[in-house]
Amino acid sequence: MIGLPGQAQGENNPVDISGHLKSLNIASESVFTGESLFATINRLRIEVQKEINPWSFYIAVDNEFVGNDFSNTPDFGFIRSREQQHSAVWDLDATSRDRDHSYIRHAIFRAYAKYYSPEFQITLGKQGIDWGVMRFYSPNDIFNTVGPIDLEREERVGVDAINLNYTLDTLGGISAVIVPSNRSDEFMAALKAYKTIQTYDVAFIASSIRHNTIIGLTFDGYLGSAGLRGEINHTHLDNGRDFFRASVGIDYTASEKVYILAEQFFNGGVDEQLLTAFSTDFRTSRELLSVKKNLSSIWLQYKISPLLEFNQYLIYDWDGQSTVYNPEVKYNLTENIDLTAGVQLNFGSDNSEFGDVPDLYYVQMQWFF
């Protein structure tokens, strides 16, 4: 992190400049043709932060190069569909090259101003908002949710929002989010009331998300020495369809080296007619969450040493009887360089949750500065 002198009168806080360089290399097969494919995703992110009490200002700018051998296939549509022109008030994406073997994109990943006081906070601008508590399938993560098998779960697509939070003296509070849009079918607004009850943080959510109404309940706390959390919601779609979604999970730290988590997800909103779109369109995959109703997830983390850890997760699709298994090794090479290598192995029949998904191998290096 680099500190530059502050420019505001009477302000001694520096401008903090940081960021990272990531190289993610992927080998897999086409969902549609079965041919081998390869991609190298190289992203430079520059982050600038300035504190002027009680305000803070933050911006993160991405420059991304994707070298690949499958830009002419429908599989590449998923990468293109991550652009924010339909999820932001201001389209801050720019693609400078989209040709055979090379795709170059520039974007504002985050850009917001935040006011903070103990009782009241407001964040204005492009931000990541996560109201869910689950690790895999999260029904109440209603603002551009993260997929359960995403390799880059930390790369949550932001929303241009007005985010208000008022803290009450009774260990609770109220949050309100408005996501304005130039298109009525992209407008989002949500209200969350939350409170701590004994060892549990409980939240009630009411929202209008792109003409769909979602009412939900979230809890997160302890059952003895284990963590217990869950989410349930009722969704009323603009087309008149109604359904429930629910997820519950438990986790336990067995020792300094071993962490175990298990979750169960029920998705009453599946639509198998959108199976192809689920694989190729970012928005569709995030709204559907899954293509089957009942899925169980298990995650096991083992810290071999302070610098080396082994992660593995397994998700089982009870309806289609398919499985994804992802073992991964992460090594902290230096104080600011992480190396990660893993594989996603998929088993099952056609038209199941994972049976049509090709195996995927990946190696990643991330340098923080």
Amino acid present at 198: Q
Which band of pLDDT confidence, cut at 50, 70 and 90, is reported for residue 6?
very low
| pLDDT cut 70: percent of the chain above it | 91
Q: How many domains does the chain have?
A: 1
DSSP 61-85: EEEEEEEES-TTSGGGHHHHTT-ST
CA distance 190 to 176: 6
Instruction: Provide the whole-model pTM.
Output: 0.89
CA distance 260 to 108: 36
**337: domain range?**
2-368
CATH number at residue 208: 2.40.160.100
- pLDDT higher than threshold 50 for residue 366: yes
CA distance 6 to 51: 9
Rg of the chain in Å (alpha carbons): 21
Stretch 266-282: mean pLDDT, rounded?
77
pLDDT at 84: 57
The candidate with the shortest Cα–Cα distance to 279, out of 206, 333, 356, is: 356
Residues 82-124: tens digit of each pLDDT: 665 555 566 667 888 888 889 999 999 999 999 999 999 999 9
- pLDDT higher than threshold 50 for residue 7: no
